[in-house]
Structure 1
Amino acid sequence: MPKPATPWLSFALLAVLGLAGCGDDAAPPTASSAALAPSDPALAKIYDSSCKLCHANPASGAPQSGDAKAWQPRVAQGADSLLDHSINGFKGMPPMGMCMQCSEEEFLALISFMSGQPVQ
């Protein structure tokens, strides 16, 4: 009879599966992405609860907050494309980016913050 998995092993498996939805393009680590936060308290709260899991974790494959080089080709696609990807999901990004209550304006402000570039 097989031996049941230990609880910590189950937790580790769940953590890995949770990150699987974040993205699929490996990005180089950015030392300060985990410490970044929007200056607006309301956006900082949304970022912390919705965006940070993937955009401050190099293992996720998502473009890291503050990594302008990684964000440049995405920002070049324009606001409409970025909003579409945020709302409907894209590759490993879940629909609504785990922020079901976010408005289009909040998505654009968060993308501008994470990319370090104005989104138009």
Structure 2
Amino acid sequence: MLATRTLLLSGTKPGLSWMESTVRRLCSAAALLALAGLFGGCGVDSKPAVPRTAATLTPANKALAQVYDSSCKLCHADPASGAPLTGDAPAWSPRIAQGVDTLLDHSINGYNGMPPMGMCMQCSEEEFLALISFMSGQQLQ
């Protein structure tokens, strides 16, 4: 009878005190919660990816990245500048539609807020086209 009463009170093995039984139950519950947390973390990541913004985009080509950082990024990564932002396809679309010759002319001779040579006095036409392709996200021909 005493063994039955101990089993009913403790919920575990006979001979354990109420405190020992409670500690065991709490440890078991904590272990189950930890296990559920591990499995609950599997699957699709609920955190959105860090957005790629004009300020974080950089050309893969190291030489082009250096030119972009020193000559283009100041305006094309700053929304306050009024320049089309790097990676902003809708802002670049009407400019791309004007054609490569117009884009090169505006890059070399300046246009509105765009300074002549885009602050890259050593850039060739090919480099300007590569930079525009990178910033617009569209391959130019």
Aligned residue runs from structure 1 range 61-80, under 5 A: 61-80=82-101
State whether structure 2 residue 113 is matched by structure 1 residue 92.
Answer: yes
Flag as ranges the 4+ runs of structure 1 deviating above 4 A: none
Supply the distance in 2 between the matched residues of 1:69 and 1:119 (Cα, whole angstroms): 16
Larger Rg: 2
Aligned residues: 91
- TM-score where L is the length of structure 2: 0.63
| AA in 1 matched with 2:103 | L
Structure 1 residue 93: Cα displacement = 0.5
| Percent identity between the two aligned chains | 75
Superposition deviation, residue 31 in structure 1: 6.4
- RMSD over aligned CA atoms reads 1.2
Indicate the structure whose relative CO is greater, using CA pairs within 8 Å and at least 6 residues apart.
Answer: 1
Report the TM-score when normalising by structure 1: 0.74
Structure 1, gaps ≥5 residues long:
1-29
Other-structure match for 1:59: 80
Report the AA paired with residue 83 of structure 1. L
1:24-69 deviations in Å (ceiling 9; x for gaps): xxxxxx9611000000000000000000000000000000000000
